[in-house]
A and B are shown apart, each in its own frame.
Chain A
Amino acid sequence: MTAFEDLKSQWNNQNQPETPVDGAKKVVDKINAIRSKQRITNIVLGVTVMVLIAFFFYISAHKFPPVMIGLLIMMGSLLARIGLEFYSINYLKKMNVSVAYEAFKSQMATYYRQRIKVHFVATPLIVISYCIGFVLLLPAFKENLSSGFYSYILVSAVVVLVVLGLFIAKQVKKEIALLKEMKHSD
């Protein structure tokens, strides 16, 4: 027996988990759980959008052009970001896993190239738009809020921006590394 044949025999005789008796049922249960989770996510997002629209009219934002524009830009930026994430998640879910490995690897590489475009083009534009919207709202905040609360809003906005920036940078770094690995590995 050659050294590799010996490894092969060990591989085939190794101790491995038994086939779960109700495994197929658990898979079907998991699929149903994923579907209901998706429904809940859609409901939560729908409600959030409705709350934002209700808030918009509650504070009569449409009567004050700078506030209206600021809020619309911020809401639009958030919706654009959520839309992009949904698109990415759906792209991953819809990838055909039953094709040959090399074809699947190409699909994955396309996915990561799209993600990098999102990170380097769409995300900075969205963040800049969000900031513009926020700055447009500042005079209204200053006029209607106490100075302490106004300062809190300013500081928390900067903190959120920095934390979000670091999080996105980490994600970008990870996805660039995965794309590189995909390009250079067999």
Chain B
Amino acid sequence: MLKQQRQFDAIYKANYQKVIRICMGYVNGNKALASDIAQEVFVKVWKSLAGFREEAAISTWIYRITVNTCLLELRNKKYTQPYQEYHQLPETQEEPYADKEKQLKKMYQCIAKLSKGNRAIILLELEGLPQKEIAEIMGISHEAVRVRVHRTKNSLTKCVKNDSI
């Protein structure tokens, strides 16, 4: 038990930042909601830890649990509400910084317009994962990932620029 706890502690520290970023992508950048889902992800990590067979890299395994838990949790109404108070910008904010924040907010809004599957793919792509690993997480062919990443990248970029997806 103590060994499992130590292992879990290490996994938690090494993966929390990745998990929370993916979760934020599912809840319009709302940090509080993302933290709730991230906690749920780690509850499932703990419960599944004994069954981890090291057939996949631990990060691939964690990402699978993360996208699946997000899909599961999005059934809950509280996670599908539009987030109104996203990063309220102070009036004195410097111009370039405020522009970046606005663009980030727009990016979250555009990600929310994607289908749940494409949302998972683009969030993993934004995290910088190789397409082969994304294919393993999604359970689809490398070729299908390549096509979907290409399409989703284009529609996301277009949406952030022009507000259409």
* Interface bracket on B: 35 or more
Contact B115 A185 (CB under 8 A): yes
B113 close to A (CB within 8 Å): no
**Contact of A17 with B157 in the complex, beta carbons under 8 Å:** no
User: Once bound together, how far apart are the Cα atoms of A105 and B115, in whole Å?
Assistant: 13
Contact B8 A98 (CB under 8 A): no
Known contacts being A24-B9, A104-B68, A178-B75, is A3 close to B161, with CB within 8 Å? yes
How far apart are A180's CB and chain B's nearest CB, in angstroms?
13
Residues in A whose Cβ lies below 8 Å from that of B153: 4
User: Among B65, B139, B148, which residue has its beta carbon within 8 angstroms of that of A97?
Assistant: B65
Count of interface residues, chain A, beta-carbon cutoff 8 Å: 37
In the assembled complex, which residues on chain B have CB atoms less than 8 Å from the CB atom of A185?
115-117
Choose from B20, B43, B126, B138 the contact partner of A100 (Cβ within 8 Å): B138
> A143 on the interface (CB 8 Å rule)?
no
Partner of A101, one of B43, B46, B137: B137
Is A186 touching B69 in the complex (CB atoms < 8 A)?
no
- For residue B157, which residues in chain A have a CB less than 8 angstroms away from its CB? 3-4, 7
Query: Nearest Cβ in chain B — how far from A59, in angstroms?
Result: 42
Which one, A8-16, A37-45, A134-142, is touching chain B?
A8-16
B98 sits at the interface (CB 8 A): no
A-B contact pairs, 7 of them (CB 8 A): A17-B35, A28-B5, A99-B64, A100-B138, A101-B139, A102-B140, A178-B75
